[in-house]
Amino acid sequence: MENKITISPVTRIEGHARVTIHLDEDGKVKNAYFHVDQFRGFEKFSEGRHFSEMPVITERICGICPISHHLASAKACDDILGVDIPKTAKLLRELIHMGQIIQSHSMHFFELAGPDLILGWDADPRIRNVVGLIQENPELALKAVKLRKYGQRIIELVAGRRIHPTFAVPGGVNNALSPSARDEIMSGIDEMISYIKEGIKIAEDYIEKNRDLCNKFASFSTGYMGLVKDDGSLELYDGKIRFMDKDGNILKEFKGKYYLKYIGERVEDWSYLKFPFYKPLGYPDGVYRVGPLARLNVADKISTPLANEEFKKFKAIGYGKPVEGSIYYHYARLIETLYALERTREILDDPDVMSQDVLVLGNVSNEEGIGVVEAPRGTLIHHYWVDEKGTIEKVNLIVSTGHNNWAMSKAVEEVAKAFVDGKNLKEGMLNRVEGAIRCYDPCLSCSTHAIGKMPIVVEIYDNSGNLLESVVRD
């Protein structure tokens, strides 16, 4: 073997973000911002390709939720063909989407959020992480691994490969479900439900003991947006977009294809990531949140029994109004994971899931195609414009982290004002600022479509604009 040993960095980190905290003359926080300093590029990269390639191109945007991009893209392609895909194809697409939700949500809670909740905000940073989590509760850590693996296994069994499948194609999917795959997935559901219920119990205990903090931590008013079924229940794969104002009034329900009528995008000079807003209310009055908290806020109920019981407890937190505290994102994420597991069983119990009728063929019929799904982090919109041969002329992608851009910056500001003392800076203060961002589980490579070298830099400036402190977390 060649005897050549050199230290070399690996490159895979999802994006490059920066938090700046600005102090007044008394050392108190005046403003704080969450900056995303990268650029968008996948839209340009896709121009000139054939539309049918898009489901396999766009899933490369993100290594964490490739399936969401794959499916939003396939739905946009269906729209270009002008076809209604077979029921079995819909079921199978939704099935891998549930796998996506399970793996992404469970990884976030146990790996990233769990240390804050289980070990505490001010715990020694050397143990306030997965290391501490493993030491505190190795069985729980193992269950987190199994949950993530189970979600990935659903994708692998149904779509043929764990990442970057070619499964969803314009007009449906390219493979029927095998009985052995169905049986394997089904055999694991009860165990996984027991694991996620354990996570929900952790979240509920935390909320119970820290009710005041949960209600105040990065709590602010915004609108909320998410998909719902026709009966108003939670929907993650295919439904109508519901927009709710800060008081809980449903302002509008519309099909995803009309998103441009209702969603505008604002550019700020301190971030490359755009700031979407609800057009009828303008900017900034129309800023809104997406993702687990938003979805549970806009939904009237959940269609599966166990998740719906948890949903009722969630709704009780807001006393009929939207739940505003950002920490509740974690709780909502776990409830959605429970729903995804129950929904997986429902799909597998549907006799149509084993049908071989999985694809309809068609020709380019429309110059535009729009696909919308609820990705783990929120509403994901793919919009393609094509010529008569189906060549992509223009692409617009609005990703979940983009929708939450304003909210993440607001969360950072709220928490910095509440906890950061510029004259007596402590590590736990900065951890709370990061924790505010963590609630939203941002995926910066997805939102900026670019490779970065470090996840976050926190910079603190005095009243004269001098940099007082810079903390790099990588």
Partner 1 sequence: MKNLLIVGFGNEFRRDDGLGIKLLDQINENVDKLKVQELSIDLVDILKEYDIVLFVDASIEGGPISFKKIEKEEKFSPLTHHLTCEELLFWIDALYKRSPEFYLLSIRGYDFDFGEELSEKARENLDLAKKFVQNFINETISNKLSD
Q: Which residues bind partner 1 (CB under 8 A)?
A: 1-2, 4-14, 17, 41-42, 44-45, 57, 60, 62-64, 66, 103, 107-108, 111-112, 115, 126, 129-131, 134-135, 138, 141-142, 144-146, 148-149, 151-152, 162-164, 431, 434, 437-438, 442-443, 449, 451, 453, 455-456, 473-474
Closest approach of partner 1 to the CB of residue 104, in Å: 8
Non-local CB neighbours of 24 within 8 Å, separated by 6+ positions: 30, 463
Nearer to partner 1, 17 or 169 (CB): 17
Cβ nearer to partner 1, comparing 239 with 292: 292
**φ and ψ at residue 217, rounded to 5 degrees:** -70, 115
Computed from CA positions of residues 223, 229, 231, 233, in that sequence, does the dihedral angle turn out positive or negative?
negative
Residue 130: CB minimum distance to partner 1, A:
6
**Cα separation of 39 and 46, whole Å?**
15
Q: Which is nearer to partner 1, 17 or 341 (CB)?
A: 17
Cα–Cα distances (Å) from 383 to 29, 108, 371, 429, in that order, read 40, 28, 7, 41
Token look-up 């903390």 returns 471
Given a contact cutoff of 8 angstroms between Cβ atoms, the answer to whether 350 and 343 are in contact is: no
**Rounded-to-integer distance, Cα 273 and Cα 405, Å:** 7
Which one, 183 or 474, has the nearer CB to partner 1?
474
Q: Which residue, chain included where needed, has tokens 């094509």?
A: 386
Judged by DSSP in three states, 227 sits in: strand
Q: Which is nearer to partner 1, 115 or 369 (CB)?
A: 115
- Look at strands 288-289 and 223-228 and give their pairing: parallel
Q: Closest separation between CB of residue 129 and partner 1, Å?
A: 3
Taking the complex as a whole, the smallest distance from the CB of residue 204 to partner 1 amounts, in Å, to 24
Q: How far is the CB of 469 from partner 1 (least distance, A)?
A: 17
Burial of 249 (0-12, 13-18, 19+ CB in 10 A): exposed
**Residue 384 · residue 410 · CB < 8 Å:** no
Supply the minimum distance, in Å, between the C-beta of residue 132 and partner 1: 9
Q: How many of the other CB atoms lie within 10 Å of CB of 384?
A: 29
DSSP-based three-state secondary structure for 341:
helix
Residue 265: count of CB within 10 angstroms of its CB: 17
How far is residue 380's CA from residue 388's CA, in Å, rounded to a whole number? 26
Least distance (Å) between residue 34 CB and partner 1: 11
Q: CB under 8 Å to 426, separation ≥6 — which residues? A: 122
Q: How far is the CB of 278 from partner 1 (least distance, A)?
A: 27
Nearer to partner 1, 344 or 431 (CB): 431
**Pairing state between β 456-461 and 17-23:** parallel
Handedness of CA 102, 106, 108, 113 (dihedral sign): positive
Q: Compute the least distance from the CB of residue 430 to partner 1, in Å.
A: 10
Cβ 14 to partner 1, closest distance in Å?
6
**Residue 20 structure tokens:** 């700046």
